[in-house]
């Protein structure tokens, strides 16, 4: 008599889940920087940062600032800027957004930081 193996389906499911985890980790390892830059630009800069800019700014000025931040991240991605440089600017953005308002001085200090880090 041949005994049917019990738990074979569960074992195969575990193998599939393990494989998916390995693929996801590989993706984050090889494309993590691109994923991080993309999500930071799309969600932090587009959604939160621009919304918190001073109300006195015109639409054109707000768009120009957003474009400068985008240009920094695009340049960082194309020129393979060091991660510490990108992290420094990202932390500055998070720091000035922490109190949920951005002042003119904070915007100017961010622009200065991006200009010095770009070179």
Is 81 part of any domain? yes
In a domain, 26, yes or no: no
Query: CA 95 to CA 111: how far, in whole Å?
Result: 14
Residue 20 has a pLDDT of 96
Given the structure tokens 């992290």, which residue do they identify?
Answer: 87
By residue range, what is the domain housing residue 59? 32-118
Phi, psi of 80 (to 5 degrees): 55, 50
Quick check: is 2 in a domain? no
Tens of pLDDT, residues 77-95: 887 778 888 889 999 999 9
- Please check whether residue 69 lies inside any domain of the structure: yes
Does the residue 11 lie in any domain?
Answer: no
Q: In total, how many domains does the chain have?
A: 1
Residue with more model confidence, 1 or 116: 116
Terminal Cα distance for the chain, rounded: 76
Could you read off the pLDDT of 53-79 as tens digits, one per residue? 988 989 999 999 999 999 888 888 887
CB neighbours (10 Å) of residue 15?
10
Residue 65 domain flag:
yes
pLDDT score at 28: 83
Domain assignment of residue 20, yes or no:
no
* Residue 27 falls inside a structural domain: no
pLDDT band at 32 (very low <50, low <70, confident <90, very high): confident
């Amino acid at each position: 008599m041949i005994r049917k193996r019990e738990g074979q389906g569960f074992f195969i499911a575990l193998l599939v889940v393990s494989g998916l985890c390995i693929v996801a980790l590989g993706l984050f390892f090889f494309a993590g920087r691109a994923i991080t830059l993309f999500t930071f630009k799309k969600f932090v800069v587009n959604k939160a940062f621009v919304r918190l800019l001073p109300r006195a700014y015109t639409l054109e000025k707000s768009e120009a600032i957003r474009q400068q931040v985008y240009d920094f991240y695009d340049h960082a991605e194309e020129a393979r800027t060091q991660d510490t440089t990108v992290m420094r600017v990202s932390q500055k953005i998070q720091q000035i957004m922490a109190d949920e308002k951005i002042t003119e001085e904070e915007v100017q200090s961010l622009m200065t930081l991006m200009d010095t880090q770009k070179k």
